[in-house]
Amino acid sequence: MTDSRHNVIIIGGGVAGLAVALEITNRFPHLRLLVLEKEDRVARHQSGHNSGVIHSGVYYKPGSMKARLCVAGAAAMVEFCRQHAIPHDVCGKVIVATHADELPRLENLRQRGEANGLTGLRLIGPDELREIEPCAAGLQALVVPSTGITDYAVVCEKYAELISASGGTVLTSAAATAIRRLSDQIVVETSRGTFSTTALINCAGLFSDRIARMAGDAPDVMIVPFRGEYYDLTPERASLVRALIYPVPDPRFPFLGVHFTRRITGKVDAGPNAVLALAREGYRHTDISLRDLASSLAFPGFWRMARQHWRNGLDEWHRSLSKPAFVRALQRLLPEIGADDLVPGGSGVRAQALKPDGALVDDFQFVPSGKVLHVLNVPSPAATASLTIAKEIVDLATKDLGLG
Ligand SMILES: Cc1cc2nc3c(=O)[nH]c(=O)nc-3n(C[C@H](O)[C@H](O)[C@H](O)COP(=O)(O)OP(=O)(O)OC[C@H]3O[C@@H](n4cnc5c(N)ncnc54)[C@H](O)[C@@H]3O)c2cc1C
């Protein structure tokens, strides 16, 4: 019935699935491992459409998986990039308070960062801010020296190359279409044939809840797609930003607010916002999937979330459809920026798990079920933390799935 038997199959060739595969090939080189990716190359979705920031870990609740895995993961990512000559830069960033009511939140962030083990955090006034970022304005700023930048699509290609070099297989253009759980094996049907395995790890990002259901489980979360849209600064105005300039985030939302990011290529972008997308891979306003919409509307948590956050959601849509509104949000950080300085850039879609009570899942979430492990919530900073997330997942898989 099956044409190929494996010890472990991973669904999803993004940064999470590939990091997990790499960790397995390093830890258990004897295992037959297969990564299934539906696109024609790796990192086509979140992992290739993000801000490229190596986050420091300053934002996350002390004791959370995000805090623990991000701080260690950032150091591991910098070391990985150094070892494999992947362009990166630990350029640091400033988080800027522009209103008096943000000052206590900025101080909270400093305390959080220190509780998470970050060093070198410093609150500075407007004059020192101008020495670091000459065009930024604010009442106070937090300097975060350990933040960096890289290109996660390049990181993913390196992960895939190392997996193949260690005997694993990364099969692209192979969409998992059905999963059957038999007594001694799991059968995965794909667009490129049928494969069997004794353990399955679901790292399908925007589709991880659907893959969980395909595997016969009933995850208690639904993935909601939030599109992040960017503008690029014109090359003549890119010098307005030296490194990374962020606002103080609103603690009610998991997103960081529109900011300026210097990419590893030297280009500077502004964004991303967080607009509810009408399709799970909805990179443009016009991308609409009736199936995705129907499943969102049928989930009770969706309506509860809508009731709690409709005003903020409308503001995001307004900023998405109106360039002047987007520019006004950016001018809080960089008063000189004008509409003529910005040209439309790319976009990415975040996979955010939503609970039935309407709450957005804040921390990473990994759910074992028999010989299957579902990675159901790995939003930002999961690219930064991919190497440490992988260690955590492989520890779980060793214990719960009997991997090894
Ligand atoms: C706009 C934006 C900005 C971000 N900025 C940052 C940042 O600066 N720093 C940071 O650390 N993180 C950032 N993130 C978060 C980070 O990009 C994600 O957390 C991370 O990429 C998640 O990786 P993943 O492998 O889970 O998902 P993905 O990269 O989406 O990978 C999942 C893969 O599964 C595949 N797949 C789905 N269904 C199937 C199927 N049936 N069969 C086979 N394959 C399937 C998909 O094609 C996809 O390639 C950002 C995200 C976004 C969207």
Q: What is the pLDDT of residues 232-254, one digit of tens each?
A: 999 999 999 999 999 999 888 77
Rounded to the nearest integer, the mean pLDDT of the chain is 96
User: pLDDT above 70 covers what percent of the chain?
Assistant: 99
* CB-ligand 1 contact for 352 (6 Å cutoff): no
Binding site membership of 138 for ligand 1 (Cβ less than 6 Å): no
CB 31 within 8 A of CB 24: yes
pLDDT of residue 96: 98
For residue 198, report the distance from its CA to the centre of ligand 1, in Å: 25
Q: How confident is the model at residue 2 (pLDDT cuts 50, 70, 90)?
A: very low
Beta carbons of 45 and 281 less than 8 angstroms apart: yes
- pLDDT surpasses 60 at 404: yes
Ligand 1 centroid from CA 348, angstroms: 9
Whether residue 23 has pLDDT greater than 90: yes
> pLDDT tens for residues 364-400?
999 999 999 999 999 999 999 999 999 999 999 999 9
Using the mean position of ligand 1's atoms as its centre, give its distance from the Cα of residue 223 in Å: 12
Provide the pLDDT confidence category of residue 119 given band limits of 50, 70 and 90: very high
Q: Decide: 148 in ligand 1 pocket, CB within 6 A.
A: no
More confident residue, 310 or 166: 166
Separation in Å, CA 114 to CA 58, 95, 120, 126: 8, 15, 9, 22
| Ligand 1 midpoint to CA 378 (Å) | 8
| 205 CA from centroid of ligand 1 (Å) | 5
Distances (CA, A) of 163 to 6, 28, 100, 263: 15, 12, 50, 27
CA of 45 to the centre of ligand 1 (A): 5
Distance CA 92, CA 209 (A): 35
For a substitution probing ligand 1, which of 229, 377, 380, 393 has the most ligand atoms within 8 Å of its CB? 380
Nearest CA to ligand 1 atom 52: 50
| Ligand 1 contact via 255 beta carbon (within 6 Å) | no
pLDDT one-digit tens code per residue, 39-95: 999 999 999 999 999 999 999 999 999 999 999 999 999 999 999 999 999 999 999
Ligand 1 geometric centre to CA of 159 (Å): 14
Q: How confident is the model at residue 113 (pLDDT cuts 50, 70, 90)?
A: very high
Own/partner contacts of 192-196, CB < 8 Å, gap of 24 or more, are: 193/3, 193/4, 194/1, 194/2, 194/3, 194/4, 195/2, 195/3, 195/4, 195/5, 195/6, 195/9, 195/34, 195/36, 196/2, 196/4, 196/5, 196/6
Q: Is 210 in the pocket of ligand 1 (CB under 6 A)?
A: no
Q: What is the pLDDT of residues 190-204, one digit of tens each?
A: 999 999 999 999 999
Q: What's the number of CA atoms in the CB half-sphere (13 Å) around residue 223?
A: 27
Query: Cβ(52) to ligand 1 under 6 A?
Result: yes
> Does position 3 have pLDDT exceeding 80, yes or no?
no
Q: Ligand 1 pocket, 207 CB below 6 A?
A: yes
The arithmetic mean of pLDDT across residues 159-188, rounded, is 97
Ligand 1 proximity of 348 Cβ (cutoff 6 Å): yes
Cβ–ligand 1 distance for 381 under 6 Å, the answer yes
| Residue 254 in contact with ligand 1 by CB distance below 6 A | no
- Among 36, 50, 202, residue to substitute to test ligand 1 (most atoms within 8 Å of Cβ): 50
